[in-house]
Structure 1
Amino acid sequence: MTKRYLVFISEAARTCGVEEFSRLLAGRLGVRAQTHVLDYRIWRLFGALKNVDAAVLNFPVVAWKKKLLSPTLCALVARFMRRDVVVVLHEWLALDWKRRIVLAPALVLASRILFSAPEIAAEFAETRLSSFVTRRRGMVPIPPNLLPPSELRQTPHSEALREQRRNGRLILGQFGSIYPKKQSTAVLQVAAELIAQGHDVGIVFAGSFIKGMDNVEEQFFDLARKCGVADRLLVTGYIADESTLFAIFEQIDVFCYLFPEGLTSRRGSVLAAALFGKPVVVNAPASAKALDHHDLFRRLIETHAIRMVPTNADIPTVASAVLQAAEDKPNKLDLVAGLETVWRQIVLAVDAA
């Protein structure tokens, strides 16, 4: 029997990776899925659930303070109507404890829980809540939330970067939200190290600062000044248009990430950059099996699009890897085939619920 799904989304205009996954999943399921905005209109919810077999919730949710009870309400109504509830959990211990409390009842109501990475599954398994939820659990590979468009749209940002490269400057970049737990500032230190070695380096962050975190932006630019790279730094802010975003990607020589936990399969920003054909230098996963379930990540490592340094690599080691990556172009990857493989795995995992 072909399963039909109600995929819950938010009304957010500025989407995060979790929200993008929700919308992309609904699109990939095609006629088997419809979307429903997470809200409190219960009679509309009853009507939407009437013609489906299962509800799909992705956590954490956007604007969670406005949605305090809606995930639980949706899961409760779905189970009352004898519909399955599939929860895809993208984060857990990294979430504020108040957010975990809000999501806990919906997890208890879940028929099946899918995790975005082995690290998240392990974190969850060690919590007390794990004893009270379903043992029907699985893993899904998270696809890139952005793909290169057919045409690029040049802007003053991309033109300025192009001019810098024309004058011999190496552009070091990072894509995605800027926040402390991502160690975004490590890129500033890598750039400073390269400059100290005599290289001309510029830095671009294609993204914006996470709102609600006190002094993050101020501390970021303060460190840039201390590192002596403030006059070489560009922070674009949030860019919604993909043709504009990838025009900036085109002018980046090497992407660089140094995550606290090393690379994990949830890092869609790394996938997006590597799939565009740009080399990405990133520190290796803490666990050797962290990427075993994600064929596309493993293929990108094989083709040298993703170049890993040790998990606890110091700044000089990362700087050296950046220079090497700037000289060696990655091998080409069959993007269509790689994405089809990932989505086939995802749909199979959801259907297994």
Structure 2
Amino acid sequence: MTAETKYEALFLGAGPQMQCGVGQFTRLLYQAIEKLDPGSSAALTLTRSEGSVAEIWRAAGSVRSVVCNFPIVAWKRVILRPLVALAFARMRGRRVVLVQHEWASLHWLRRLTYLPALLLADTIVMFSPQVRRELARDPVVGWTAAKCVLAPLPPNIEAPSQTADSPLRQRLEAARQDGRLVIGHFGSIYPGKQPNTLLNVTAVLRERGRNPLTAYIGSFIKALDNVEEDFQAWVSELKLSEDVIVSGYVDSSAEVFGLFGEVDAFCYPLEEGLTARRASILTAVQTGRPVIVTGPAEADEFDHHARFKELIEHGAIVLVPRGSDDAVYADAIVTSLKQSRTYPPFDFADWWRDAANAIKAQL
């Protein structure tokens, strides 16, 4: 570093008050890189009221690289300020490292807001070869895929030493005591995760007399997709109102894992197949419950992510062939509950150390 630069990297975030997955990822990445190299990094909070143009300009000049997990907070908030920071970094000769989780699964309006960040980036960190291929096929910015590097994605939430009780946990516990099969689905609910397909699987299990209760532990993403309206309409169509629960936002990891403790198995029928960017699945795996997921589209999906591949090889994640019908997922859930498996130990810190090392190499 030169006399002008104080830090190796500046992490753009929206502060601890912004509770969302992208914000949590940025905080954990910053902390993990600081553990590797204490004092090497700084964080800049950008909200609707914090982060003036002058502050952004000074911060961009004090570092070698600016790291942005774009958008830094949930959709439709704080879009302009991080783009200003990236532009200032380029103007001042600093590196721009963009962390990009998705592409084709995003609504086209969202992708439009990402375009400036892609163009300004020196390096684009991705977590899935499939997402990199999606970007490469884009007719407008496909050329930016040449700037992509792959990193192993860790989970955003660590299993706590103690869990917390809640009315919903008690409801799930009572359902299991009554002999119901509790199926879990964790994370934000949006079209890319095929939430309605799991409703079909629930209906199949009910027809077989398994008396399922499917718990969506998470909340709907507010966007232009009408996902919540379509979901509720399909619940009504299948007459599943007594067999489906949506928790809404859950405030703490202790409460989340309290709910997980009452889940028999998790299930994710994904049209795109399992990709190495699915942090919600890694969170669910920490429970020791079987996680049933559609298999990946390409054989190389986990070649860069040895830990994720190990979970699949040991049966912690059960893959269902792409193109399978709802009955196959129902069979996989029932079969998984009859099998005894020994999973590899899940060291949350080691997962984040892997990610930090991969991203630090780009700074």
* TM-score where L is the length of structure 2: 0.89
Query: Can you give the 5+ residue segments of structure 1 that lack an aligned partner in the other structure?
Result: none
Q: CA deviation at 1:135?
A: 4.0
What residue in structure 2 maps to residue 46 of structure 1? 57
What residue in structure 1 maps to residue 354 of structure 2? 344
Q: Which residue of 325, 329, 335 maps to 1:324? A: 335
Once the two structures are superposed, residues 207-263 of structure 1 have per-residue CA deviations (whole angstroms, 9 ceiling, x without a partner) of 111113464323322322332321122211110211011100000000000111011
Contact 2:151–2:358 (CA under 8 A) maintained in structure 1: no
SS class of match (2:63):
coil
What residue in structure 1 maps to residue 183 of structure 2? 172
Q: CA deviation at 1:3?
A: 6.8
Distance 1:110 1:212, change over 3 A: closer
What residue in structure 2 maps to residue 217 of structure 1? 228
SS class of match (2:322):
coil
SS class of match (1:281):
strand
Contact 2:18–2:73 (CA under 8 A) maintained in structure 1: no
SS class of match (1:148):
coil
Contact 1:282–1:308 (CA under 8 A) maintained in structure 2: yes
Contact 1:60–1:91 (CA under 8 A) maintained in structure 2: no
Q: Which residue of 37, 51, 73 maps to 2:45? A: 37
Q: CA deviation at 1:269?
A: 0.9
Check if 1:201 corresponds to 2:212: yes
Distance 1:243 1:63, change over 3 A: closer
Distance 1:177 1:78, change over 3 A: same
Contact 2:32–2:352 (CA under 8 A) maintained in structure 1: no
What residue in structure 1 maps to residue 22 of structure 2? 18
Provide the C-alpha distance between the structure 2 equivalents of 1:119 and 1:265, rounded to a whole number of angstroms: 9
Question: What percent identity do the matched residue pairs reach?
Answer: 34
Contact 1:57–1:86 (CA under 8 A) maintained in structure 2: yes
SS class of match (1:25):
helix
Provide the C-alpha distance between the structure 1 equivalents of 2:214 and 2:60, rounded to a whole number of angstroms: 48
Once the two structures are superposed, residues 97-128 of structure 1 have per-residue CA deviations (whole angstroms, 9 ceiling, x without a partner) of 33333322222221211112111211222234
After TM superposition, the structure 1 = structure 2 runs for residues 92-171 of structure 1, keeping only pairs within 5 Å, are 92-130=103-141, 133=144, 135-171=146-182
Partner amino acid, structure 1, of 2:123: R
SS class of match (1:185):
helix
What residue in structure 2 maps to residue 9 of structure 1? 13
Provide the C-alpha distance between the structure 2 equivalents of 1:313 and 1:214, rounded to a whole number of angstroms: 25
Contact 1:296–1:339 (CA under 8 A) maintained in structure 2: no
What residue in structure 2 maps to residue 293 of structure 1? 304
Q: CA deviation at 1:345?
A: 4.4
Provide the C-alpha distance between the structure 2 equivalents of 1:97 and 1:238, rounded to a whole number of angstroms: 25
Provide the C-alpha distance between the structure 2 equivalents of 1:134 and 1:255, rounded to a whole number of angstroms: 33
The CA RMSD measured in Å over matched residues stands at 2.3
Q: CA deviation at 1:66?
A: 4.1
Provide the C-alpha distance between the structure 2 equivalents of 1:81 and 1:317, rounded to a whole number of angstroms: 56
Q: CA deviation at 1:63?
A: 4.3
Distance 1:214 1:46, change over 3 A: closer
Contact 1:111–1:134 (CA under 8 A) maintained in structure 2: no
Query: Can you give the 5+ residue segments of structure 2 that lack an aligned partner in the other structure?
Result: none
Distance 1:119 1:12, change over 3 A: farther
* TM-score where L is the length of structure 1: 0.92
Q: After TM superposition, what 4+ stretches of structure 1 lie above 6 angstroms from structure 2?
A: none
Q: CA deviation at 1:342?
A: 5.3
Provide the C-alpha distance between the structure 1 equivalents of 2:266 and 2:72, rounded to a whole number of angstroms: 28
Partner amino acid, structure 2, of 1:124: L
Q: CA deviation at 1:350?
A: 3.2
Partner amino acid, structure 2, of 1:343: R
Partner amino acid, structure 2, of 1:23: R
Provide the C-alpha distance between the structure 1 equivalents of 2:148 and 2:226, rounded to a whole number of angstroms: 39
SS class of match (1:67):
coil
Distance 1:37 1:129, change over 3 A: farther
Provide the C-alpha distance between the structure 2 equivalents of 1:351 and 1:55, rounded to a whole number of angstroms: 13
Provide the C-alpha distance between the structure 2 equivalents of 1:241 and 1:124, rounded to a whole number of angstroms: 34
Corresponding pairs, count: 352
**Bigger CA drift: 140-149 or 90-99?**
90-99
Provide the C-alpha distance between the structure 2 equivalents of 1:324 and 1:22, rounded to a whole number of angstroms: 38
Provide the C-alpha distance between the structure 2 equivalents of 1:222 and 1:102, rounded to a whole number of angstroms: 31
Q: CA deviation at 1:130?
A: 4.1
SS class of match (2:216):
strand
Provide the C-alpha distance between the structure 2 equivalents of 1:180 and 1:250, rounded to a whole number of angstroms: 26
